Amino acid sequence: MAIVTLLGARRSPFVYRVIWALKLKGVDYEYVEEDVLYNKSDRLLKYNPVHKKVPVLVHAGKPIAESTIILEYIEEAWPQNPLLPKDPHGRALARFWTKFGEDKTTTLFGFFITEGEQQVKATKEAQEQLRILEEQGLGDKKFFGGDEIGMADLEFGWLARWLEVLSEVAGVKVIEAESFPRLHAWIQRFKEIPTIKENLPDRSAMLTYFKGRRATFLALAKS
């Protein structure tokens, strides 16, 4: 096994934030695709016996699970090209908004697994949290931490590809340039960073995959 191995799934935004961090740091790693829905490997069960999910980063044989924990580990293990500011207050703010994104995941994805009146409500709830993110987290800055991409940007990086795909599949518009001008502009900037642009999942493949996932979620809700 390589000294750094990432167990992941190509449709997962949680996996991609780790991929982006490793790429930004210039860390060489081996990527191992996992079938987390239907056939979890013995290696995954060995390295993440608690949650049995991806991503899992294995460094020198030692596993680290949970994407935000992995980002913190990467920042400490490979300090080059830092993802956190130097000053303590800036680091605290970055961690605050990273935690905000982690805590609001269910709310932000709610529109995708609902329909009808429930979907209307879920979309409004997601937009309320995105409004807080735009006004209080991003503000007038280029990136969440200032002029350079950082940990909070990686946390919300899923907005740059997954949100547009999920919105299209679900038939709703969550973020538009008119209603979220600063967040919309941030998405465009984020996607144009070479490291990010070169490491985004294929859009057409995602559409196919998430159409199936939405159908499954809705069927389960009715059963």
| pTM of the complete model beyond 0.85 | yes
Distance of CA 212 to the CA centre of its chain: 20
| pLDDT tens digits for range 51-89 | 999 999 999 999 999 999 999 999 999 999 999 999 999
For residue 27, is pLDDT > 60? yes
Q: What per-residue confidence (pLDDT) applies to 83?
A: 98
Residues 203, 162: Cα–Cα separation, whole Å: 9
DSSP β-bridge partners for residue 194: none
Q: What per-residue confidence (pLDDT) applies to 223?
A: 82
Average confidence (pLDDT) over 34-55: 97
DSSP 134: I
For residue 115, is pLDDT > 80? yes
Q: What per-residue confidence (pLDDT) applies to 1?
A: 52
